[in-house]
Structure 1
Amino acid sequence: MADIESATAQKLLKAFMQFRKTGWHDKKISGHNPSEFKVLATIQQGANEKDYEMKLSEISQRLQVTPPTVTQIINNLEKDGLVERTVDPEDRRAVKIKLTPTGMEATAKARIRFTETFTGLIDYLGEEESEQFADLLTKVQHYFSELNR
């Protein structure tokens, strides 16, 4: 087992720190922060799977975040005219969310931009290294998940 003083451990630590400093995971995607994009994409995906609308609780479950977190994001998206809320006629306690036409357009643009970013990374690394990188990131995620248990 390597210790933190080893050259490899130092190189990994430095790489993680530099990667974090890039802020890639905090950058806006077509004007939307990552949380907003995830909610928009989730609503779009849900609409494509079954219905035009999704319950707020379904969005919360899919994203594995609390309903108040989703509600706050939905409030911002609603102010921007990207989503609409309706009360479920079958369950008046449930709120259904759907994308507005503006929301559909914004989500489509954001998906294109998101895809371009990762396509650019594949072009930069090459197909083989991209596959290796994805496999390594998956292993790293598993390692940290196990470590945190």
Structure 2
Amino acid sequence: MDKDINLTAQKIIRCLNEFRKLNKHKSNDCGLTHSEIMVLFYIRNHIEEYKEGIKTSELSNKLNVASPTVTQQINSLEAKGLVDRNIDKKDRRAVRINLTEKGEKLLKKASKELRDSISGLVNYLGEEKSNQLAELLLETYNYFSKKNREND
């Protein structure tokens, strides 16, 4: 029994590694890395929470990424005109990051690409397998989320 579990675990690890390699540092049609798009999505999805923009430190905490990594991504996104930085009105030492209009447009395009890609997967797998996949992914997320809380 343990041997079967070990083989299954190895198969899952191999599959996850293949997924990771599939898009590693690859730009999509938007010309951004996956990480840059994730930063933009996070900023947009938390506009209500951070009405005046988000600080780099808050962004790195929320994304569970080191501040220097987020800073590099923000520098790249700013150079492309997708985000801008503004001095915090309450704390002049702090800088707030917001999406630009160009950033909003790019996210709309990226959202459409993602929807189209996932729709293609659903068509490829069929409705039943797609629902099974969604359920398994949610269970997987719940397992690792619980495990992370236990380790904190």
Please tell me the TM-score bracket, short chain as reference.
0.7 to 0.9
Partner residue, 1:17: 14
3-state SS, counterpart of residue 36 of structure 1: helix
Distance 1:133 1:144 in 2: 18
Judged with a 3 Å threshold, the aligned counterparts in structure 2 of structure 1 residues 97 and 144 are, in CA distance, closer, same or farther, namely closer
Bigger CA drift: 103-112 or 128-137?
A: 128-137
Distance 1:114 1:21 in 2: 19
* Cα displacement (A) at 1:18: 5.2
State TM-score, norm by structure 1.
Answer: 0.78
Judged with a 3 Å threshold, the aligned counterparts in structure 2 of structure 1 residues 90 and 19 are, in CA distance, closer, same or farther, namely closer
Partner residue, 2:84: 84
Partner residue, 2:124: 124
3-state SS, counterpart of residue 96 of structure 2: strand
* Cα displacement (A) at 1:93: 2.2
3-state SS, counterpart of residue 54 of structure 1: coil
Q: Please report the RMSD computed on the Cα atoms of aligned residues, expressed in angstroms.
A: 2.8
Distance 2:113 2:75 in 1: 24
3-state SS, counterpart of residue 27 of structure 2: coil
3-state SS, counterpart of residue 84 of structure 1: strand
Q: Gaps (5+ residues) in structure 2?
A: none
Distance 1:103 1:10 in 2: 44
The 5 Å alignment of 1:45-64 reads 45-47=45-47, 51=51, 53-64=53-64
* Cα displacement (A) at 1:54: 2.1
Judged with a 3 Å threshold, the aligned counterparts in structure 2 of structure 1 residues 145 and 28 are, in CA distance, closer, same or farther, namely farther
Moved over 4 A (4+): 8-12, 143-147
* Cα displacement (A) at 1:15: 6.4
Distance 1:143 1:51 in 2: 31
1:69-95 deviation digits (Å, cap 9, x = unpaired) = 211110111111111111102112221
State TM-score, norm by structure 2.
Answer: 0.77
Q: Gaps (5+ residues) in structure 1?
A: none
Judged with a 3 Å threshold, the aligned counterparts in structure 2 of structure 1 residues 62 and 13 are, in CA distance, closer, same or farther, namely same
Kept in 2: contact 1:60–1:66 (CA 8 A): yes
The number of residues matched between the two structures is 146
Kept in 1: contact 2:52–2:96 (CA 8 A): no
Distance 2:65 2:11 in 1: 31
3-state SS, counterpart of residue 86 of structure 1: strand
3-state SS, counterpart of residue 47 of structure 1: coil
Partner residue, 2:106: 106
Kept in 2: contact 1:56–1:94 (CA 8 A): no
- Percent identical pairs in the alignment equals 37
